DNA sequence: GCTTGACCTAAAGTCGACTTTAGGGGGTAG
DNA sequence: CTACCCCCTAAAGTCGACTTTAGGTCAAGC
């Protein structure tokens, strides 16, 4: 069993953050001493690991709490939990695709400014056309600019 | 030239959001009529596109403002802008790597619950060992569990 | 016996990025 | 002429995830 201070040191979480998680219902089985001191067992540590991962997957504490509650409700919630992970997987895959486009924009911008810095001015590079870029940069440029929103309304 | 309402329709941004961006200094060259009505030109629309992308790259409005200011200061800030994009590129690449691990965890969890749902109980799958998982799932499981933080403090 | 350090609670504060509210101007269509 | 729509500002509210503050308990060491 571990005190809240020890757990705080194990994970990169402050003591108030752990108390906040507890308050939000993320540790439904957390034991306390008679005087009210929290005492974390292996299962509670495992919960923290899961919470960290679900947070990285972009889930809110509220959604994480729902999941933890489902786990305690037993096999009746298996389909809910399955769907939750299938949905989250789709979201994360979309995020990865989006970030890859962002990465391409940043690669293009980094190249653009590297050229500008080398020439000590933005003057020439500012007007460069895709066909004059190196192959790899052109691809990144086109990929990252493909899905840009364009005006859908005409001028007045 | 476009009114704020037209611009709001072109991009998925509300009118108050555009006014908020203006207030934060993201449109330093935005023109107004004598009565104070905003009028967006092509350059302002281009700014909005850049803002959208830098937001996706995880930049705060404050950082975006700094970048926009640099652009107006001219060639003296080229190195700053280059470094900004190089730094952001590194951050986004780290995020992609992290999300790939998260994706593997979600793939594993989705598989886990698909098994549980098929068997109508978590009882068996709960105790499965890596060597008993399908190749692909085992890889995802091990990849996503490789960097888990582990207790760094001993029990008391 | 008193200080120290780790624990506790409840409640208020913070931060970023908006959104909402309240109050007002101005041009045009019926 | 008045209803309506779009525009404006300043200021307050919201939301999530914490952090900070204020005040209190308790066991151990000098």
Report DSSP letters for B90-132, one per residue. Answer: HHHHHHHHHHHHHHHHHHHHHHHHHHHHHHT-STTGGG--GGG
Residue A19 contacts strand C, CB under 7 A: yes
Q: Give pLDDT tens digits for B118-134.
A: 999 999 999 999 999 99
What is the rounded distance in angstroms from the CA atom of residue A41 to the CA atom of residue A45? 7
Q: Give percent of chain A above pLDDT 90.
A: 88
Arithmetic mean of pLDDT, A60-75: 95
Q: Give pLDDT tens digits for A18-44.
A: 999 999 999 999 999 999 999 999 999
Give the bases of strand D that a protein CB approaches within 7 Å. Answer: 6-9, 11, 16-21, 25-27
With bands split at pLDDT 50, 70 and 90, how would you rate the model's confidence at B145?
confident
With bands split at pLDDT 50, 70 and 90, how would you rate the model's confidence at B144?
confident
Residue B60 contacts strand C, CB under 7 A: yes
Distance A124 CA to D12 C1' (A): 48
**Which pLDDT score, from 0 to 100, does residue B155 have?**
35
**Quick check: B42 and B31 in contact, CB under 8 A?**
no
Distance A36 CA to D26 C1' (A): 11
**Quick check: B18 and B7 in contact, CB under 8 A?**
yes
Does B82 sit within 8 Å of A113, measured CB to CB? yes
Give long-range contacts, CB 8 A cutoff, 24+ apart: B114-118. Answer: B114/A82, B116/A75, B116/A78, B116/A82, B117/A78, B117/A79, B117/A82
Q: Which of B78, B112, B121, B154 to mutate to test the interface with A (most CBs of A within 10 A)?
A: B78
With bands split at pLDDT 50, 70 and 90, how would you rate the model's confidence at A147?
low
Residues of chain A in contact with residue B12, where contact means CB-CB under 8 angstroms, are 149
**Which pLDDT score, from 0 to 100, does residue A146 have?**
73
**Quick check: A3 and A39 in contact, CB under 8 A?**
yes
Instruction: List Cα–Cα distances, B46 to A5, A55, A145, B6, B40, in angstroms.
Output: 51, 34, 12, 15, 10
Q: State how far Cα B65 lies from the chain centre.
A: 17
Q: Give pLDDT tens digits for B3-62.
A: 999 999 999 999 999 999 999 999 999 999 999 999 999 999 999 999 998 999 899 999
With bands split at pLDDT 50, 70 and 90, how would you rate the model's confidence at A145?
confident
Residue A36 contacts strand C, CB under 7 A: yes
């Amino acid at each position: 069993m571990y005190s809240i201070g020890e757990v705080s040191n194990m994970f990169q979480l402050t003591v108030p953050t752990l108390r906040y998680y507890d308050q939000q219902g993320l540790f439904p089985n957390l034991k306390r001493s008679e005087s009210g001191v929290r005492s974390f067992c292996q299962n509670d540590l495992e919960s923290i690991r899961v919470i960290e991962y679900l947070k990285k997957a972009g889930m809110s504490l509220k959604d994480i709490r729902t999941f933890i509650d489902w786990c305690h409700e037993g096999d009746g919630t298996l389909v809910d939990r399955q769907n939750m992970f299938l949905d989250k997987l789709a979201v994360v895959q979309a995020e990865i695709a989006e970030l890859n486009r962002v990465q391409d924009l940043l690669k293009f911008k980094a190249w653009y400014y590297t050229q500008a810095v080398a020439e000590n001015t933005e003057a020439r590079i500012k007007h460069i056309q895709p066909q004059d870029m190196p192959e790899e940069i052109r691809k990144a440029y086109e990929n990252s600019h493909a899905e840009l929103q364009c005006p859908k309304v005409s001028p007045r």
